[in-house]
Structure 1
Amino acid sequence: MKRTLPRTALRRVSGLVLGAALIVSLTGCGAAQGATELDPDAQVRLEMWTGQTDQAQKVLEELVAEYEADHPNVTIEVSAGASSTEDLLQKLSAGFAGNKYPDISYAFGSWAGQLESSGRTLDITDQVAEADVKWDEFSASARATAQPTGTKTIGFPAIVDNLSLIYNKTVFDGAGVDYPTSDWSWEDFRSAAKQLTDASTETYGYAYSVSGSEETTWQFWPHFWQNGGTILSDDSTKSEIASTAGVDALTNLRDMAIDDKSIYLDQTDTKFAQLFASDRIGMITSGPWQLVDFKTAGTDYGVVQLPGTDGDHQTVSGADIWALFDHKDKNREYWAFEFTKWLTDAAQDERWNVKVGNLPLRSSEVDSDAFKEQVVTYPGLDVMAENMVNAEQPRPTIPGYVGLSEAIGSAISNVLQGQGDPKSALEKAATIADKALND
């Protein structure tokens, strides 16, 4: 989960380290009034915080320069924005207070609700409804992340990913176990994990984080959703994590960890991938950021969608966004939208996300030559791209999710390490989560 400024192999689902209090509602105390009527030919200067360094930053700078050349009246000051992606939220909050914030900023999806509640975001709902935006080409979870309360659209998807099942062919071959298939159930998964586990060689069938971080929590959501679980009540004031769906999902994991002893319990969030790469773990549930490391290590791996429950193969996606901000200036608003729309069009996305090894943002890119070339380099990316259809719902983006995630992450960690039973642990977590949701 740890992430500095992004490189492809690092996870994109963090960003829960800062509390909701960092961003307060500032509606009504915005920036000084700019242009009140749109003049598309007026000189405009925009500021963009990318949250990127290295190759991804260089590619974005090249794209910005290209856009400026095609639109001579538009200047875009582009920078990483902060020393680490996590620091962007704090910098945005400080900027809101001092009326010094960008027009466009990369943002973790988990921040979306906080950003909307600041009163500083643009609402581009009407614009993205236009046919040429092709909004439906973004996955359902990515669209929902950009629409945190369902009433406003505060930006465009920036990066998408999902959890898929990655399996180590060397470990499977050594144990004489058939490779996973796309129609596997969790019963099939458990059976294989048990057969792959060998205490004499310290080889495990599966691995799971018990750090209590968001890594612990987001790995749990597919199990929970496939059992019919709903994370929040309709009014988002109470958690539903202690429901039958939650108890059943955690019980299944507990039985694998305690009874079968087939799960490597990772306290670090990082060691399990290293052990997988060195042929000590048979299966992990992870995403595209891992494939670079496995390619480098020479690991013989395969990828399929997650096992399912009664044919339901839902996964979880860590979509991030390009958030757009309001400076009370029609010209800046217009060009911030136009540039971000251009940046996330398929032609440009193939030159940024696809080029640096991420999944394509849009469904129309899956058959592109650019993505096919990446699949040759990193086998399994195509399966992960296809798996985006199983990312049917986003993690909650409301501020209270931070506390909810910490509570359920702690509960899962304790149960998998033999401390408490699933029902009691989740009921205790729900009590803590409900307080966080209502603070």
Structure 2
Amino acid sequence: MAHRLRGAVALAAAALLAVTAAGCGDGDADGGTVKITWWHGQAAPYDAPIKKLAAEYSKAHPGVRIEPQLGTSNVDDMLQKVTAALAGGDAPDIAYMYGSWTASLAENRKVVDMTDTVKDPSFGWSDFWESERAAATVDGKVVGVPAVVDNLGVVYNKKLFDAAHVAYPKPDWTWDDFRAAAKKLTDPGKSVYGTAYPVSGGEDTVWRLWPMLWQQGGGILTPDNKKAAFNTPQAAAALDLWRGMARDDKSVYLDQNGEKFLPLFQSGKVAMVVTGPFALLDFKEHGIDYGAVPLPGYNGNHETISGPDFWVLFDNGSRRAKAAKEFAAWLSKPEQDARWSLAVGNLPLRKATTQLPEYKKYVDDFPGAAEFVANLDNAKKARPSSAAYAKFSEAVGNAITKSLIAGDPASQTLGDAAKKTDDLLAKEK
């Protein structure tokens, strides 16, 4: 999904900017069938809807052949794979890219500008949720069209709540309510934790803090993207709430590799998890009786964060670019959205999709899905469009980890991260 970053990503982003157009074939010379290579990043069996859509479009458009390919078995590596392909003159026409990469992608001249395409009234750009449109746009340029959208909410185990005689959370709950519930749900004798936090230091660590800033009116960077804005008393209080839960209440399972807390929820050892709709399929398959609610809030603000990912197009000549744009526009229609997103358990990409018959089946098949769809209205901001984001996010991830594991005060760890962020942003300019 959109939220995982690796150290190699920053290096790949820098390499992408250095790639030139030399060696990239234009595909325009023969005037025959236009072949569009589509790197989707979906391993079998999740690639079945993609293959069907590609075959259907190719059949309906005899002059175009859509060729879906895995691209890479690990989407985390997609940026590096695309960068290498661009350098070798064999780039895909369309690739699945994380939203956190858009700032770097926007600076590369091989990335097709989709601004005019989405502004065409037939595209229905306003039908996509605000968080998707914001994450796709860098300095007025639309870098890609939405491929996946998600958000963070809280999923809870009803059985554990009932056993602890704790009332199920309500949509208007507060962070103090969350802390109190987590403490009551914790049972050391049974190795049950009220909640969990991934402290790998990566983006999975970081993006859980940003909504707590936004809910209090704060921001990640200053409006001009030149300075850190997250080192505030409100942000420190938010992180210190988690620090107090972890160190004083002992109600938080600290997952140091970020891969255990969801399985622990599935096995009944964690009562609540801050997660997204991408986890619902596994929860359903494990037979968990669960519920879903928005994030706790401050003063009635339950703002969340969304991690949209995108279909990004690369310029392999005018004919291929034109055909790729037309295909991307077709793929973004509600009917195709239902067959791609809903078929694999993802949230709908656009509001019109929720009016289709497939949507009713989707929410029936995936308990909690309707709550996460409604929660998209709480996703109002995107992470900063800064090429330095991957690096300063790592500094923030380390700050969160130090506070929760070592117990360092949030004002200290966030202060250190803010200094590193300011240095990185200064170098970027």
Q: Same fold (TM over 0.5)?
A: yes
What is the match of residue 322 of structure 1? 311
Structure 2 counterparts to residues 11-30 of structure 1, below 5 A: 11-17=1-7, 18-19=9-10, 20-26=13-19
Q: How far apart are 1:43 and its partner, in Å?
A: 3.6
Could you list the per-position Cα deviations for residues 103-161 of structure 1 after superposition, in whole angstroms to 9, with x for gaps in the alignment?
111111111111111211111212211211111121111112221x2321122000001
Q: How far apart are 1:179 and its partner, in Å?
A: 0.3
1:64 matches 2:57: no
Q: Cα gap change, 1:210/1:83 in structure 2, threshold over 3 Å: closer, same or farther?
A: closer
Structure 2 counterparts to residues 226-241 of structure 1, below 5 A: 226-241=215-230
Q: How far apart are 1:86 and its partner, in Å?
A: 2.2
Please give the alpha-carbon distance, in whole angstroms, between the structure 2 residues aligned to 1:339 and 1:204.
47
Could you list the per-position Cα deviations for residues 345-389 of structure 1 after superposition, in whole angstroms to 9, with x for gaps in the alignment?
110111111011111111122243212212222200111011111
Please give the alpha-carbon distance, in whole angstroms, between the structure 2 residues aligned to 1:362 and 1:211.
32
Q: How far apart are 1:64 and its partner, in Å?
A: 0.8
SS at match of 2:340: coil
What is the match of residue 393 of structure 1? 381
SS at match of 1:102: coil
Please give the alpha-carbon distance, in whole angstroms, between the structure 2 residues aligned to 1:189 and 1:419.
20
For residue 139 of structure 1, the aligned residue among 122, 126, 129 is 129
Q: How far apart are 1:182 and its partner, in Å?
A: 0.7
Q: Cα gap change, 1:158/1:418 in structure 2, threshold over 3 Å: closer, same or farther?
A: same
What is the match of residue 144 of structure 2? 155
1:182 matches 2:171: yes
- Is the Cα contact below 8 Å between 2:128 and 2:351 reproduced in 1? yes
SS at match of 1:53: coil
1:203 matches 2:192: yes
What is the match of residue 294 of structure 1? 283
Please give the alpha-carbon distance, in whole angstroms, between the structure 2 residues aligned to 1:210 and 1:87.
21
- Is the Cα contact below 8 Å between 1:140 and 1:392 reproduced in 2? yes
Please give the alpha-carbon distance, in whole angstroms, between the structure 1 residues aligned to 2:333 and 2:253.
41
1:373 matches 2:364: no
Could you list the per-position Cα deviations for residues 389-412 of structure 1 after superposition, in whole angstroms to 9, with x for gaps in the alignment?
111111224221111111111111
Q: Could you list the structure 1 runs, at least 4 aligned residues long, displaced by more than 3 angstroms after superposition.
A: 25-36
What is the match of residue 6 of structure 1? none
Instruction: Please provide the CA RMSD for this pair.
Output: 2.0
- Is the Cα contact below 8 Å between 2:5 and 2:202 reproduced in 1? no
For residue 392 of structure 2, the aligned residue among 397, 404, 415 is 404
Please give the alpha-carbon distance, in whole angstroms, between the structure 2 residues aligned to 1:126 and 1:108.
22
Could you list the per-position Cα deviations for residues 257-276 of structure 1 after superposition, in whole angstroms to 9, with x for gaps in the alignment?
22222211111212111221
Q: How far apart are 1:234 and its partner, in Å?
A: 2.4
- Is the Cα contact below 8 Å between 1:15 and 1:108 reproduced in 2? no
Structure 2 counterparts to residues 88-103 of structure 1, below 5 A: 88-103=78-93
SS at match of 2:68: strand
Please give the alpha-carbon distance, in whole angstroms, between the structure 2 residues aligned to 1:73 and 1:182.
51
Q: How far apart are 1:31 and its partner, in Å?
A: 4.2
Q: How far apart are 1:217 and its partner, in Å?
A: 0.5
Any gaps of 5 or more consecutive residues in structure 2?
none
SS at match of 1:208: strand
What is the match of residue 265 of structure 1? 254
The residue identity in structure 1 corresponding to 2:286 is A
Q: How far apart are 1:245 and its partner, in Å?
A: 2.9
- Is the Cα contact below 8 Å between 1:216 and 1:409 reproduced in 2? yes
SS at match of 2:292: strand
The residue identity in structure 1 corresponding to 2:325 is F
SS at match of 1:76: strand
The residue identity in structure 1 corresponding to 2:384 is P
Please give the alpha-carbon distance, in whole angstroms, between the structure 1 residues aligned to 2:41 and 2:423.
32
- Is the Cα contact below 8 Å between 1:206 and 1:264 reproduced in 2? yes
1:425 matches 2:418: no
- Is the Cα contact below 8 Å between 2:82 and 2:91 reproduced in 1? yes
Any gaps of 5 or more consecutive residues in structure 1?
1-10
SS at match of 1:180: coil
The residue identity in structure 2 corresponding to 1:407 is A
Q: How far apart are 1:225 and its partner, in Å?
A: 1.3
Q: How far apart are 1:30 and its partner, in Å?
A: 7.9
The residue identity in structure 1 corresponding to 2:56 is E
- Is the Cα contact below 8 Å between 1:16 and 1:110 reproduced in 2? no
Please give the alpha-carbon distance, in whole angstroms, between the structure 2 residues aligned to 1:274 and 1:52.
22
Could you list the per-position Cα deviations for residues 192-228 of structure 1 after superposition, in whole angstroms to 9, with x for gaps in the alignment?
1121122222222111112212111011111121122
Q: How far apart are 1:26 and its partner, in Å?
A: 4.7
- Is the Cα contact below 8 Å between 2:23 and 2:87 reproduced in 1? no
Please give the alpha-carbon distance, in whole angstroms, between the structure 2 residues aligned to 1:296 and 1:34.
45
- Is the Cα contact below 8 Å between 2:303 and 2:380 reproduced in 1? yes
- Is the Cα contact below 8 Å between 2:26 and 2:317 reproduced in 1? yes
Please give the alpha-carbon distance, in whole angstroms, between the structure 2 residues aligned to 1:252 and 1:95.
45
- Percent identity between the two aligned chains: 42
- Is the Cα contact below 8 Å between 2:54 and 2:66 reproduced in 1? yes
Please give the alpha-carbon distance, in whole angstroms, between the structure 1 residues aligned to 2:391 and 2:2.
19
What is the match of residue 4 of structure 1? none
Q: TM-score, normalised by structure 1?
A: 0.91
Q: Cα gap change, 1:31/1:299 in structure 2, threshold over 3 Å: closer, same or farther?
A: same
The residue identity in structure 2 corresponding to 1:140 is E
The residue identity in structure 1 corresponding to 2:177 is D
Q: Cα gap change, 1:335/1:175 in structure 2, threshold over 3 Å: closer, same or farther?
A: same
For residue 87 of structure 1, the aligned residue among 62, 73, 77 is 77
